[in-house]
Structure 1
């Protein structure tokens, strides 16, 4: 199961979802869907409704419950917690068990969510447009959004180079990403997220302007070196990645010498976006960003 998550809105109510890259399917939070269908006033009430319904379905011998999955999604307290999820086919069967006038509208909405993901894969500009809309909704400034979108393009260019150089495994993408992060910032991705107090949130969505620029410098430099040298395999690609990150490291040290403090900041999105509704969730393709 992928950890690519997104909050979707149905009639202005939040439904947590997760995209499985391997199966090319959305998984929906059953509690959230139950809450929408039955107009529950709180998440706790929605959870209790699903608990009762699940027990009833089990007693009736329904296979629906056994076909549900468990997945960690961000809870109301901002922490990842296990919750029941279902793909669209199973979710439809759950919906059929709930008397609600919203049953058909939410089925149509779920189908639209699935179709939009396919359209974005075919037309990358749609994905960029969606990202811009999401960042605006979350309260990021236009200047930050413009920089962030550019860094997504730069990251895509680097991962394309890695693929051209024979990198295919997700663990290798993660290794190269960590190597570059450790080299220029002094922190691995995991250490960086811990430093900022992040859990499942996307690290780059919580970087300051300077952090974004330095990370982009490392990746763009590595991309250009790769185009000239054509590295093959993990070892050669790692050498190029480290060289690119060393350029950003040198720049970071020069900037810090002039401003008198570290540019690697504990600040996260909640500290500087204008009117946050919630922190962004990871929404990159498998192997694209950590």
Structure 2
């Protein structure tokens, strides 16, 4: 686990990375949102008031080792979902902006379920706000659609979610680029950021090719279960890998690099303003 601090409204919120997910010290969050001189007591009162919160407290709060002035100690922590649930039970005016934001996010999610095109539009707007070019966004959005089609195939072919999806994705990446996604992130100096949001044009294109080829091979061979789909993933990734190597040999330039596309874009913009 890696201990770090998050800053909120000038207050330090201790957090720790546990099972690759950020967990936040509950007493710190409550202290930041209530200014209570006794946040631990505030939490007890809050649980007494909110019976449903008290019922689910065992699923929300997890004791994790956190660095304190007296050394490492076990403190109750919650992941992002748990923290949001706790915020809902805080009557403090400081919590109201978060509650309004959560209501807005929930409303937007309902809208997106009713009209999936809204989700695509909002994703595009988010990338635009981050400074990505329209050409890059088009490739990224197409890649999202290709990925969705592949995971839908896996879902319908007796492949378990999460861990098995990650293994199959790593199989494609290893065959396409010679590195797994985690190795690729290390190469680019990324931590928890989305790898594909930091890929350049060719990296996105070969990612799409590997996943699109895997989808086609999976359908053509009617792959069922994890083992057959892993074989299809390797073959699909190899299609992209062979194409990548041919391009690299012809152009004399490597596709896989430690370049961070978003950082490069922001640097170019800064140079343009100088």
Q: CA deviation at 1:267?
A: 1.2
Match of 1:92 among 78, 85, 88: 88
Q: How does 1:114-125 map to 2 (within 5 A)?
A: 114-125=106-117
Which residue number corresponds to residue 246 of structure 1?
Answer: 238
State yes or no: 1:58 paired with 2:40. yes
Shift in CA distance, 70/115, structure 1 to aligned 2, threshold 3 Å: farther
Question: If the length of structure 1 is used for normalisation, what is the TM-score?
Answer: 0.68
Which residue number corresponds to residue 20 of structure 1?
Answer: none
Contact 2:175/2:234, CA 8 A, preserved across alignment: yes
The number of aligned residues is 226
TM-superposition CA deviations, 1:197-233 (whole Å, max 9, x none)? 1011001111110000011011111111222221111
- Provide the secondary structure at the position in 1 that maps to 2:193: coil
Shift in CA distance, 84/170, structure 1 to aligned 2, threshold 3 Å: closer
Question: If the length of structure 2 is used for normalisation, what is the TM-score?
Answer: 0.71
State yes or no: 1:139 paired with 2:135. no
* Backbone CA RMSD of aligned residues: 3.3
Match of 2:159 among 167, 175, 184: 167
| Distance in 1 between residues matched to 2:79 and 2:159, nearest whole Å | 34
Contact 1:141/1:274, CA 8 A, preserved across alignment: no
Q: CA deviation at 1:57?
A: 3.4
Shift in CA distance, 132/173, structure 1 to aligned 2, threshold 3 Å: same
Contact 1:31/1:50, CA 8 A, preserved across alignment: no
Structure whose alpha-carbon radius of gyration is higher: 2
Structure of higher RCO (CA pairs closer than 8 Å, 6+ residues apart)? 1
| Distance in 2 between residues matched to 1:56 and 1:229, nearest whole Å | 63
Shift in CA distance, 136/69, structure 1 to aligned 2, threshold 3 Å: farther
TM-superposition CA deviations, 1:35-87 (whole Å, max 9, x none)? 3xxxxxx4659x7952883652323542459856579xxxxxxxxxx887545
Unpaired segments ≥5 residues, structure 1 = 1-29, 36-41, 72-81, 277-290
| Distance in 2 between residues matched to 1:55 and 1:195, nearest whole Å | 45
Shift in CA distance, 147/43, structure 1 to aligned 2, threshold 3 Å: farther
| Distance in 2 between residues matched to 1:54 and 1:213, nearest whole Å | 52
Shift in CA distance, 237/106, structure 1 to aligned 2, threshold 3 Å: closer
- Provide the secondary structure at the position in 2 that maps to 1:176: helix
